Structure 1
Amino acid sequence: MRRTATAELGRYLLQGRLSTRGCLKISQRAVCRQSSLRTSLAGASRSLQTASTSQPAGPPIVPLRKQWRDEAKQAKKHGKGKAKKDSQTVDGWELTVGIEVHAQLNTSKKLFSPAVTSFNDDPNSHVALFDVAMPGSQPLFQNEVLIPALRAALALNCDIQKTSRFDRKHYFWWDQPSGYQITQYYESFAKNGQITLLARDGIAPQDGDSVTIGIQKVQLEQDTAKTLAQSDDTQLLDFNRVGVPLIEIITEPQMHYPRTAAVLVRKIQMLLNTVDACVSGMETGGLRADVNVSVRRQGDPNTPLGTRTEIKNLSTIKAVEDAIIAERDRQIRELEAGGTIAGETRGWAVGSTETRRLRGKEGEVDYRYMPDPDLAPVVIGEDLVQHLRQTLAVSPDMELDKLIAEFGLTAKDAVSLLNLDNGARVQYFYRVLNGLETMLQANAGGEEMPVLKSYAGVVGNWTIHELGRLTTSKAGPFSQVELDFTPGGECAQVPDAELSQLLYQLYTKRITGKVAKELLMGLYLGDLDAGILETIESRDLWFQELSTEEYNVQIDTVLEGEERVLHELVKADVFPQRKLMFLIGKMIRSGPTERIDPATAEQLLRTRIAELRAGA
């Protein structure tokens, strides 16, 4: 049996054509007898029947690859493509989620002792007698703690209570030396707040354009010691964290989709950063979330909520969504199998697919709440509340509106800008933008300034995406050098003044995008001997753009041999943009290095095509 040539196999696989020579040749009778072959190779056998009976040729055979591509397009057009699994809902079941967010307040002292709040110092180096429950020590409320706590409550639209009190929550664990935690169970300092999440925040599509979540209360409480696990099952304790002031934000159980719950935590973190209430975000351990999850069958609105379980200490936004999905699915499987849900506390590890049981859920009676006899009530004056309300920072939603409406950023980029580096990246954006604007005004020469959105969008792209690429794997072995931002928006590796200079030269088309990216990388790595402007001049990196005549010569060269593409561009009712971009790419590849501006090339190509259309 002879070896079939590659070209022959290609015609069979890609065009449905069978050779009539050798072992692949079959008779008309054989085709009729072998119905299974006729079914699987219908197109091929029909072509053989036509050839053997000398009938007129049928319609041209469409290559299989093109058939598959056309079928995929049709499926996508009619919504019949491969459906992506919707992780937000489960048919026949309703999810209910409530969240407790614990945030470390931005203060220099602990809640009930003058010890310094410390996060990076040596373990157990900032511990007062009361922090470790030494006999005879007494709690002393630190008034300065109240300021960031009130700012946080006002940002969450809460009602500030004139009088609040502290209670003891009794339980024993090694990270709580006194045997109880001081909190505000009965009379918290803030109640009845709310937070509105919008579609641009990234909520689940099922929630529509917006959803409002109630804040049941915000209470002050002390943090526990930090547990440091060792390899030999030893647990070491760092009491620097014990007594650090926290606020606990307790939401109403009003969320029904995992993504919306995760977005709520992110929005709360953004709000706390905006009003300077929280010392750090989830990434550095300054904010943790506990989620309460329950499920019930849909259909009867009078069905009570299911038994809830609590997942403790979620430390990332993604972990919030993933843990809720995993616990929801676990509860549904248990109920569908005829089991029951136990009220318990569960844990979650990053990268897991299942929650794990930690302990049985203690009831409120087990905590034996009682008013703390050593602490007087906290009385908050209305004048203080009004002063803080009037001096509160602009809300993230208002700033997002400004970034989108005035500066022309997309909603996704605006949200990213506010979230990156605990709000420092947006300050960096403003610094770079102001620097670029100053240079544009200084060199306007009496001409009208460009539209704000045109250059603000460039600044947004570079401060989010181009800077982001520096620390990804694309940067090679240097990607581990993190960008350091101060709260005021200063960056050590890429100073805002240098990026403003870089973007000014790019925006005014004095350098190309490729050169700009190489300069940014050099600045980031510290490879430049001088500033951006000096480096461009010393290395002669200026963009020497082709003249109009030279562009037209390049267009003539590119169009040679592309009659079919040119015909489509001239005759098409709907302008084929991809064909035009193909020609522009060919111009850039074949033309002089770094002398062609894609925008100019596109403009001149469109002019040439318009002239040909008019002549046709």
Structure 2
Amino acid sequence: MGRMGRVSTAELGRYLLTGQINRQGCLRTRLPQISANAAFRQKHQTRTFATQADTSSSSSVPPNATAVPVVPFRKQQKDQAKALKASGKKKKKNADNQTVPGWELTVGIEIHAQLNTARKLFSPAAASFNDTPNSHVALFDVAMPGSQPLFQPATLIPAVRAALALNCAIQPVSRFDRKHYFHWDQPAGYQITQYYHPFARDGHITLLARDGIPPEDGDCVEIGIKQVQMEQDTAKTTAQPGEVQWIDFNRVGMPLIEIITQPQIHHPATAAAFVRKVQMLLGSVDACVSGMEAGGLRADVNVSVRRTEDAATGQLGTRTEIKNLSSFKAVEDAVIAERDRQIAVLEAGGVVEGETRGWSLGGTETRRLRGKEGEVDYRYMPDPDLGPVVIGEDLVGHLASSMGMLPDAEIDELAEKYGLSSKDALSLMMLDDGARIQYFYNVLDALEERLEISADAGSDQRHALLAANWCLHELGKLTELASDLGMTPEGECHVPSSDLAAILCHLHRRDITARVAKDLLWGVFRGEIAAGDVTQTVESGNLWFKELSEQEYAGLADEVVTGETKVLGDFLRFKQGKAKAYPQGKLMFLVGKMMRAGAEERMDPASAERVLRARIEEVHLPALESNE
């Protein structure tokens, strides 16, 4: 039984707004295959690592596209650690820095997420800012005199799906307002948003222990969402030498949603867990194009502190806002730094000022940017050029029924049905903007078909755990050695799911060794094995696993034990009750010697361990006892 991927917002929008239906049916067209070389390398041949130049990609990039470098999150963390070490300051571990005795922290979060749409919010220009700068700009985007905003109804599809995923109540009527401020990234001198009448209100998210909340929050904590509003993005500013700023108006007018929480977060790790959970939820319903790592989601945090004894008054401390945090770790680090700064100011007898502050990756302190603007400063007013947005109950109902399984339910199913750990399930769902989990399902479907296993059969989960491990870890190793996987939203990549399933089928049946399986995976990834030729490659290369006999295993076991009197003494002491724990480490040491001494391509580590353990207990220990 196949598992259907979630319906994309683009396809839903065409169906709901214009009546267009996808005519391709339920059969997916195969991705263009990477060209195959003449033959697959022999299993012991040295690998040649791929470079960006010699690894083909399945993604289509316009010839005039400007590449936008994405710094991997792991590298950001390393750079941050180096900068901290260079500053000479010691940093307390975040896990031990969630509370300060005598003080209470309160955090509210505003998340700006870019919606997955083809057009901008108020103009027909394409919603893409990774192309040539200023190539997707309509007259209204740059506030040309006489131009008028034209609301694009298709932007409602991902916006409503996002709000439903956040358990919000969709408002039948919402309106747009103008938020005035003057900056070069906002040509009109105002931003169009939904300050007074947002399209969604009164939501909540439940954070569980597996989401990364600290022990101080218990098993779970519920964070209220005040409102979700639609608004337009600003232009992209790139600083140049000599106080020069380059402006790219491709991004101006991009459709965003702003998610505003209630001030109900009291620990830094909870703030980071909330942003992470929101990103996962938005990705699971195809509402947003990318996460924090790629710039598609940004977080502003409002931080205030008060003494514990002041909590009874209900009055919060003066809040400051930290703008544009671009990673989950930055959220937690910035909250800790600002909390500690405010406490130090108050303990010194000072006053915390309401202001906007910034945070630099690798820093240890927030920095002042400007005074905090208020409602009066922005001069909010209803936009006279835009009418109300009316959202029908039929649209909301259809979108609610088409969202599919949300992350918490999917994690529970992955754990209960397939035996995955919560950590691995979360990783699969977060990677590749949610495409990795769809790839896992594709591989699992193909693997169960090859093994002739029903999707609902029995409790044997070994094949599913095998598929999850390879989709998560072995595929991840490929990207460390070469380029990206080329993962698509449909769950396909440079390693077709059917080919990985073929490899895992042979591995599960013990037709091949794990080493051969990894070489096959590398060959498929590099295009050295053509699509669908995995079994043929094993056959032509004589790579089938011809396991040693019991007698051959026993001979190797006796060989590696010879001369290991001291190691055997540890086993004897356990047998005689003089040691509490079985010397498993020593056993694995001897297994390693067996694997090196024999033909590794014909040996199974589990079989080697089983035979070795039996020979020690039945032959070598009695001989050692008799010599004593």
Write the distance in 1 (CA, Å) between the matches of 2:163 and 2:157. Answer: 10
Alignment match, 2:506:
505
- 1:104 is aligned to 2:114: yes
Q: Summarize the Cα distance change of 1:186–1:83 in structure 2 as closer, same or farther, 3 Å threshold.
A: closer
Write the distance in 2 (CA, Å) between the matches of 1:88 and 1:534. Answer: 56
Q: Summarize the Cα distance change of 1:450–1:188 in structure 2 as closer, same or farther, 3 Å threshold.
A: closer
**Cα offsets for 1:335-364 (capped at 9, x unmatched):** 233322111111122222222211111111
Give secondary structure in 2 for the equivalent of 1:135: coil
Alignment match, 1:342:
353
Alignment match, 1:317:
328
TM-aligned CA deviation for residue 401 of structure 1: 0.7
Write the distance in 1 (CA, Å) between the matches of 2:93 and 2:358. Answer: 31
Matching residue's letter, 1:237: I
Write the distance in 1 (CA, Å) between the matches of 2:136 and 2:246. Answer: 16
Instruction: Give the aligned length.
Output: 524
TM-aligned CA deviation for residue 298 of structure 1: 2.2
TM-aligned CA deviation for residue 563 of structure 1: 3.3
**Cα offsets for 1:504-554 (capped at 9, x unmatched):** 222222222222223323333334478332332333222221101111111
TM-aligned CA deviation for residue 261 of structure 1: 0.9
Alignment match, 2:251:
241
Q: 1:301 aligns with which of 308, 311, 316?
A: 311
Give secondary structure in 1 for the equivalent of 2:452: helix
TM-aligned CA deviation for residue 93 of structure 1: 2.2
Give the gaps of 5 or more residues in structure 2: 1-91
Alignment match, 1:118:
128
Matching residue's letter, 2:591: I
TM-aligned CA deviation for residue 334 of structure 1: 2.3
Matching residue's letter, 2:497: D
Q: Summarize the Cα distance change of 1:339–1:525 in structure 2 as closer, same or farther, 3 Å threshold.
A: farther
CA contact 2:572–2:621 (8 Å) conserved in 1: no
Q: Summarize the Cα distance change of 1:510–1:119 in structure 2 as closer, same or farther, 3 Å threshold.
A: same
Name the stretch that deviates more: 579-588 or 355-364. 579-588
**Cα offsets for 1:143-189 (capped at 9, x unmatched):** 11111111111110001111111111111111111111111111111
- 1:552 is aligned to 2:569: no
Give secondary structure in 2 for the equivalent of 1:435: helix
Alignment match, 2:474:
466
Write the distance in 2 (CA, Å) between the matches of 1:382 and 1:587. Answer: 68
Q: 1:596 aligns with which of 592, 595, 603?
A: 603
Based on CA coordinates, which of the two structures has the bigger radius of gyration? 1
Alignment match, 1:521:
522
Matching residue's letter, 2:472: I
Alignment match, 2:423:
412
Write the distance in 1 (CA, Å) between the matches of 2:406 and 2:168. Answer: 14
Give secondary structure in 2 for the equivalent of 1:404: helix
TM-score by length of 1: 0.81
Query: Higher RCO, 1 or 2 (CA under 8 Å, sep at least 6)?
Result: 2
Matching residue's letter, 1:289: A
Q: 1:133 aligns with which of 133, 140, 143?
A: 143
**Cα offsets for 1:431-478 (capped at 9, x unmatched):** 111222122128x9xxx9885411111111111111112222xx3xxx
Write the distance in 2 (CA, Å) between the matches of 1:415 and 1:403. Answer: 10
CA contact 1:571–1:613 (8 Å) conserved in 2: no
Write the distance in 1 (CA, Å) between the matches of 2:310 and 2:319. Answer: 19
Write the distance in 2 (CA, Å) between the matches of 1:146 and 1:162. Answer: 12
- 1:229 is aligned to 2:239: yes
CA contact 1:440–1:449 (8 Å) conserved in 2: no
Q: Summarize the Cα distance change of 1:232–1:497 in structure 2 as closer, same or farther, 3 Å threshold.
A: farther
CA contact 2:170–2:201 (8 Å) conserved in 1: yes
**Cα offsets for 1:392-432 (capped at 9, x unmatched):** 22101111111111111111111000000000000111111
Q: Summarize the Cα distance change of 1:422–1:370 in structure 2 as closer, same or farther, 3 Å threshold.
A: same
Kindly report which structure 2 residues correspond to 1:524-543, keeping only aligned pairs within 5 A, or say none: 524-528=525-529, 531-543=533-545
Alignment match, 1:90:
100
TM-aligned CA deviation for residue 575 of structure 1: 2.4
Q: 2:222 aligns with which of 212, 228, 242?
A: 212
Tell me the C-alpha RMSD between the 2 structures: 2.3
Write the distance in 1 (CA, Å) between the matches of 2:384 and 2:414. Answer: 50
Matching residue's letter, 2:407: P
**Cα offsets for 1:90-133 (capped at 9, x unmatched):** 23322211110111111112111222212222222222222111
Kindly report which structure 2 residues correspond to 1:66-81, keeping only aligned pairs within 5 A, or say none: none
Give secondary structure in 2 for the equivalent of 1:386: helix
Give the gaps of 5 or more residues in structure 1: 1-81
Name the stretch that deviates more: 207-216 or 374-383. 374-383
